Chain A
Amino acid sequence: MKKASLTILLTVLIVLGLSAVALATETEVKVAGLRVFYAIVTAAGFGMAIAAIGCGLAQGLAIKSAVEGTARNPEASGKITVNMLIGLAMIESLAIYALVVALILLYAYPMSGPIKGLVGM
């Protein structure tokens, strides 16, 4: 069942992709251009959201260990807090990379000029 739905999904994607090549009329070109924008917006939204899942879980584990360490040994809390903050910033930077990719897709996508010209905007 899973393989069948995967095959269907791939077929739909390939047909959509190849349909861009076989276009002739102006409205179909516009539709293809708009599809690129749909894809960009979807990718930007979901990309950042999925990165936030991983970042949230990882930072939760880091804070869990830091708080447990402080509970065991309260006078080491200064050093533990410093290390925890450093670790949190490292983990957060991975989510920031996803954000930068989303921003590039939305605001600096290199093909957006030609696509806008095709769509007529």
Chain B
Amino acid sequence: MEHPILFLSLLFDLIGLGDFAHHYPHVVYSWLVMLLFIVFGWIAGKGVSIIPNKLQNLFEVMIEGIENFQVDMMGEEGRRYFPLIATIGLYVFTCNVLGLVPGLLSPTANINTTLSVALVTFCATHYVGIRFHGIKYVKHFMGSMLPLAPLMIPIEIIGHLSRVLSLTLRLFGNIMGEDLVLAILLLLAGKFLAPLPMMFMAIFTSFVQALIFSLLSMLYISAAIEEAH
């Protein structure tokens, strides 16, 4: 149970990078997700026409759905951050669901992947804030009244750092927990298809966690855009 059989690690064994693939399977599988997105993006962008065919319809529905949801939350000025939010949402969702396929591993079941996505959100928040407000972005940290500033600045800094921690741990805990439950059910009663009902639940929670991650990124960025108190 400690060492599951992973297809890409076996593939890398053939190339000769087997050691790397066995120690860092989450990196290898996030490369797989990147490759999937590049291929699907290229296919989606190929024959774009005014009257959409079936595949283009599917992609349009997905992208428009995410964009409308985002503009609802963030307002019109948030539209330029749509590629970041959509990439975060789709990447996290694909990474989560990848673990349900036998022989593949969720990159987000490892805390390094989730920490990396949370750090991207954190850096994006402050970059957007500084870009919008310039040096006046510091006012966001100082609270509502100037005399309170020495008290509010450490609290706000700790709050911002705790955002990274909560994003990381929420996604990691959910996906790692679901993987553990599937593994334990497999151990207990694998030949009676015991993990199967849990897998339906896992698809739902994967989607909800990706939605929550991208929603929180949207909220943090819109909090950085809007005026201080």
Query: Residues of A at under 8 Å CB distance from B?
Result: 85-86, 89-90, 92-93, 96-97, 99-100, 103
Which residues of the other chain, B, contact A99 by a CB distance below 8 angstroms? Answer: 173, 177
A96 touching B170, Cβ below 8 Å = yes
Interface 0/1 of B194-229, CB less than 8 Å to A = 000000000000001101100100000000000000
The residue that A96 contacts in the complex, of B174, B208, B215, with Cβ under 8 A, is: B174
- Which secondary structure dominates where chain A touches chain B? helix
Which residues of the other chain, A, contact B212 by a CB distance below 8 angstroms? Answer: 86, 89-90
B173 touching A100, Cβ below 8 Å = yes
Interface 0/1 of B55-77, CB less than 8 Å to A = 00000000000000000000000
| A100-B172 contact, Cβ under 8 Å, with A86-B215, A93-B166 | yes
Which B residue sits closest to A88, measured CB to CB? B208
Which residues of the other chain, A, contact B211 by a CB distance below 8 angstroms? Answer: 85-86, 89
**Residue B8 lies at the interface, judged by CB distance under 8 Å to chain A:** no
Which A residue sits closest to B175, measured CB to CB? A96
A97 touching B173, Cβ below 8 Å = yes
The residue that A100 contacts in the complex, of B169, B208, B215, with Cβ under 8 A, is: B169
Which residues of the other chain, B, contact A85 by a CB distance below 8 angstroms? Answer: 208, 211
**Residue B176 lies at the interface, judged by CB distance under 8 Å to chain A:** yes
A93 touching B173, Cβ below 8 Å = yes
Interface residues on B, range: 10 to 19
Which residues of the other chain, A, contact B215 by a CB distance below 8 angstroms? Answer: 86
**Bound form: Cα–Cα A102–B57 in Å:** 45
Which A residue sits closest to B168, measured CB to CB? A100
B176 touching A103, Cβ below 8 Å = yes
**Bound form: Cα–Cα A85–B157 in Å:** 29
**Bound form: Cα–Cα A89–B211 in Å:** 10
8 Å CB contacts to A: which residues of B149-184?
A: 166, 169-170, 172-174, 176-177
Which A residue sits closest to B177, measured CB to CB? A99
**Bound form: Cα–Cα A30–B169 in Å:** 34
A114, chain B: closest CB distance, angstroms: 22
| A89-B208 contact, Cβ under 8 Å, with A96-B177, A99-B177 | yes
The residue that A89 contacts in the complex, of B169, B176, B209, with Cβ under 8 A, is: B209
A96, chain B: closest CB distance, angstroms: 3
The interface centre, meaning the residue of A85, A86, A97, A100 with most chain B CB atoms within 10 A of its CB, is: A100
B169 touching A97, Cβ below 8 Å = yes
Which residues of the other chain, B, contact A90 by a CB distance below 8 angstroms? Answer: 212
